Amino acid sequence: MFQCKVKVKVNQSVLSTLQSSPSPSLIGSIDQGTSSSRFLLVTSTGKILSTAQVEFQQHFPSSSRYNSGSSCEGWHEHDPFDIWDSVCLCISHTVTELTKCGVEDVSSWIKAVGITNQRETTVSWNDRTGKVYYNAIVWDDTRTAAVAEGIIRENTDSSSSSNHKPQDVLRAKTGLPIASYFAGTKVRWLIDNIQELRVDLESPMECNNVRFGTIDVWLVYMLTGFKRSIAEDEMGIRLACEGGVFKTDVSNASRWLFMDLDTLDWDVDLVKKVVGSGCEFPVSKALPKIVPSSDCTIGTIRGVGEKMDLKDVPIAAILGDQQAALFGQACYQPGEAKCTYGTGLFLMMNTGTQKIPSTNGLLTTVAYQLGQRTVANDETDKQPVYSLEGSVAFSGSTIQWLRDRVELISDASETEALATSVPSSQGMYLVPAFSGLFAPHWQSNARGCMVGLTASHSKAHIVRAALEASAYQAREVFDSMVADSKVELKEMRVDGGATANKFLMQFQSDILNVPVVRPEHLETTGMGAAFAAGLAVGVWKDFDEIEKMWAVNTKWNPRMNDGERQKLWKGWNKAVQRSMQWLEDDEV
Ligand SMILES: Nc1ncnc2c1ncn2[C@@H]1O[C@H](COP(=O)(O)OP(=O)(O)O)[C@@H](O)[C@H]1O
Ligand SMILES: O=P(O)(O)OC[C@H](O)CO
């Protein structure tokens, strides 16, 4: 059972206003991230009543029976029940805290809940038995790098006579390159390696009970499912609920390599191309139904924990966390963009109803789609909105690495003072290609490096270079975004844990040469899911109402001169070249 400490904060002035209201109205938001889970309660005026947050355990296995004892370099797993427990704890601690503040039945104030989640992280379970086949394989886990290379080879060999390589066909349909990042490669690994899962898929009796899902799917299923009479099997292994709603939204579904961006549905041919012909795959049963991101008919919560908190509250939104941040940053117009600095770094631009293919290493993906609302809405609202995205694997996690592995710092908050204690990183660069490089390079055989080191470099320089690496990586995807979209980005809206770092934000503005804008609410991801849920149940009427709730908190303007910027940028590009092709192909 999960042991970490939940941090709950209640805004007393927001609470007193609500308590004096004749009909208090709140939207709940479950924000399930890579490092922690959060639960927010947001008022109809866009104020945050409460936040609850808890970190959960990360698993980086060093060896595994599924890997014949070889090194598990690059593996990263979550226990799906830790994730579930962390969400339940955030909800129940919030309710307890509000009860202590005199709120008797907060669930009755909550009109709907929105869910936002770390994307691509993949869970598999059996709906009939409740057995979870394997830990969740996390989005940045690179065990499937060779699987991805294999998929490219398999699909290239079969049509060597054609001008169009089939991986290009896959990219045109899905908007994604074939890489370990995406859920489809993780599904393939599960099928190829987890014997029990494979046996079930091959059994005519059992194959229809196998479920694959990203974290949103897992949470919706657990929130809406029936509890089993036993919570653990005879070996003491925990069991999932049964018969829960099995749905995902378009933004999450666009991250599998299985969804056609035009039809917004699973494409059996894509599934076959990614999973291979070795195993029959009952797509319509094993993959969740794809629904719009903001929709009042997703499902109803059965009650969380002993006290059945949130019983009968509708789930009215599901959004991948980066899409939720875009939504929370009120980027509803084509050409508006945001950058989120969390475990990874994700720059995303709304491209409206236009699907822009990338020739510069970005992803074409679904931003959101509005669906059924409790109040009638115009049909045109229901068109999907697309986006371009640059996904970088290591951002805040580089700082976690300095804390947990290198033990150079004991808390991320120390990095700002250390970085500003030296005037520059003195020609030193840290390229955090720890598991290869994601956007815009997509190089699985790159590895991290520190270059330009001299004997005068100190701990402060290393910390500074680690922070600067996030800014340089954001510039790489920013430049690709401008090249692909032909939109000149005039400013960058930012959010995520690392935006607390003022040094990083100033350096980011300097390296991009545009203003960097941080909104009042730093919980942008959670706010995005709340906004999407509130739209579905009529708490907010339209985007205009939501836009009015978005406000600037801090703006950083570029201060660096062009010569200095160009010199630093050139150095970074040289450093990235050093990290490329570090592994031989057979070492990936
Ligand atoms: N002051 C800071 N300076 C730099 N990085 C920070 C700071 N505070 C937090 N971080 C980083 O931000 C990340 C957490 O951000 P968060 O948005 O909560 O991530 P996620 O949504 O991925 O769980 C961590 O990786 C942490 O190292
Ligand atoms: O949990 P975050 O903020 O690191 O986001 C993870 C992304 O959704 C992965 O694609």
Residue 161 has what pLDDT? 53
Task: Name which residue sits closest to atom 18 of ligand 1, judged by CA.
Answer: 497
Four-point Cα dihedral 518, 547, 314, 55, nearest 10: 0
Which residue in 296, 264, 265 sits closest to 377, CA to CA? 296
Q: Rounded mean pLDDT of 23-34?
A: 95
Q: Mutation test of ligand 2: which of 248, 339, 346, 391 has the most ligand atoms closer than 8 Å to its C-beta?
A: 346
Confidence of residue 456 (pLDDT cuts 50, 70, 90): very high
Find the range with the poorest average confidence among 107-121, 168-182, 315-329, 447-461: 168-182
| pLDDT, position 584 | 84
pLDDT value, residue 3: 64
- Examine the pLDDT at 477 and tell me if it is beyond 70: yes
Q: pLDDT tens-digit profile of 397-430?
A: 999 999 999 999 999 999 999 999 999 999 999 9
Distance 340 CA to ligand 1 centre (A): 10
Q: What's the one-letter identity of residue 444?
A: S
Residue 96 has a CB neighbour count (10 Å cut-off) of 17
Q: Which of 30, 31, 32, 34 to mutate to test the pocket of ligand 2 (most atoms within 8 A of CB)?
A: 34
Average pLDDT score over the chain? 92
> Which of 53, 119, 389 is the pocket-test mutation for ligand 2 (most atoms within 8 Å of CB)?
119
Q: Is the pLDDT of residue 60 over 70?
A: yes
Give me the pLDDT at residue 277, please. 73
Helix, strand, coil share (%) of the chain residues, nearest 5? 35, 25, 40
471: helix, coil or strand? helix
Give residue 163's pLDDT band: very low, low, confident or very high (50, 70, 90). low
33 alpha carbon – ligand 2 mean position (Å)? 6
383 phi/psi in degrees, rounded to 5: -70, 145
Pocket of ligand 1 (CB under 6 A): 33-36, 342-343, 396-397, 399-400, 412-413, 415-416, 496-498, 500-501
Q: Which range among 315-329, 378-392, 456-470 shows the weakest confidence by mean pLDDT?
A: 378-392
Q: Which residue has the tokens 């978005």?
A: 550
Q: Residue 118: CB within 6 Å of ligand 2?
A: yes
Backbone angles phi, psi at 576, to 5 degrees: -65, -40
What pLDDT, on a 0 to 100 scale, did the predictor assign at position 379? 55
Share of the chain above pLDDT 90, in %: 80
Task: Rank 176-180, 306-310, 500-504 by mean pLDDT and report only the highest.
Answer: 500-504
Mean pLDDT over 548-567 rounds to: 96
Ligand 1 centre to CA of 122 (Å) is 22
Relative to the CA of 34, which ligand 2 atom is closest? Answer: 1
| Ligand 2 center from residue 159 Cα (angstroms) | 35
Output DSSP code: residue 353.
Answer: T
**Alpha helix ranges (H) inside 333-458:** 396-404, 415-420
Ligand 2 pocket member 443 (CB < 6 A) = no
Identify the pLDDT of residue 1.
56
- Distance from the alpha carbon of residue 118 to the mean position of ligand 1, in angstroms: 14
ipTM comes to: 0.97
- How far away, in angstroms, is 220 Cα from ligand 1 center? 26
Residue owning the nearest CA to atom 6 of ligand 2 = 118
Q: In the prediction, which pLDDT does 72 show?
A: 84
Q: What is the DSSP string of 144-204?
A: THHHHHHHHHHHHHTTTTSSS-HHHHHHHHHS--S-TTSHHHHHHHHHHH-HHHHHHHH-T
Q: Are 493 and 332 in contact (CB under 8 A)?
A: no
Given a cut of 90, is residue 286 above it in pLDDT?
Answer: yes
Residue 86 confidence class, pLDDT cut points 50, 70, 90? very high
Ranking 113-117, 160-164, 254-258, 456-460 by mean pLDDT, the lowest is 160-164
Atom of ligand 2 nearest to the CA of 139: 9
- CA distance linking residue 92 with residue 6, whole number of Å: 10
Question: Given the CA of residue 396, which atom of ligand 1 is nearest to it?
Answer: 25
Residue 78 has pLDDT above 70, yes or no: yes
pLDDT band with cut points at 50, 70 and 90 for residue 69: low
Ligand 1, atom 6, residue with closest C-alpha: 498
Beta strands 294-300 and 314-320: pairing type? Answer: antiparallel
- Residue 542 and residue 531 in contact, taking contact as beta carbons nearer than 8 Å: no
Tokens 């393939």: give the residue.
188
Q: Which of 501, 503, 504, 522 is the pocket-test mutation for ligand 1 (most atoms within 8 Å of CB)? A: 501
Q: What is the pLDDT of residue 234?
A: 78
CB 121 near ligand 2, within 6 Å: no
Per residue in 142-169, is it b (16+ CB within 10 Å) or e — as a string? Answer: bbbbbbbbbbbeebeeeeeeeeeebbeb
Reported as a single tens digit per residue, the pLDDT across 194-225 is: 999 999 999 998 999 999 999 999 999 999 99
Lowest mean pLDDT among 428-432, 570-574, 584-588: 584-588
